[in-house]
Amino acid sequence: MRKKINKFIQSITSQRLNYVINRVDYYNKLKPNSILGNNNGYNVSKTCTIADFKFTDRSLYYCDLKPLTNFFSKHLVISYIFEDIVIPPKFCSFVKSRQIIENNNSAVILKLDSFRHFNFIKDKIPYEKKRI
């Protein structure tokens, strides 16, 4: 995987690379040596190793996060919150939403619940022929 990433980075223009880096920095605001922990106050805050990340919550969020974990060692620890965020988590976590505030650097936004939010239906009726 690293070879593919390095090959991709070498193949794009510096302008495009800067755009990608800016997008990554927006979604991932963690600082070096960020701390994992239990985010008390959230009902579905979990911390576990990737090996122990199982489909126990019966959540579609799991179906979106699980494939991403396949790129990392099974002994690594992850923390995730499977609900809307109304206050920034105390510890770094994967989330589906994050408040637009100054101190929100403990939440890494991922595309969770993609079935609900990114499932586009193919409509056979053109927009112009729809009833108002």
List the pLDDT tens digit at each of the 132 positions of the chain: 678 878 887 888 889 889 988 998 888 888 777 777 666 555 556 888 899 988 876 778 888 888 889 888 999 988 888 887 777 787 888 888 877 777 777 888 888 877 766 667 788 888 888 887
User: Which position has the token pair 């193949």?
Assistant: 11
Residue count of the chain, please give it.
Answer: 132
Write down the pLDDT at residue 22: 92
What pairing do the DSSP bridges indicate for beta strands 107-109 and 93-95? Answer: parallel
Write down the pLDDT at residue 117: 65
Beta-bridge mates of residue 45: 81
> In whole angstroms, what separates CA 80 from the centre of its chain?
9
Global pTM exceeds 0.85: no
Residue 53 buriedness (CB in 10 A; 0-12 / 13-18 / 19+): middle
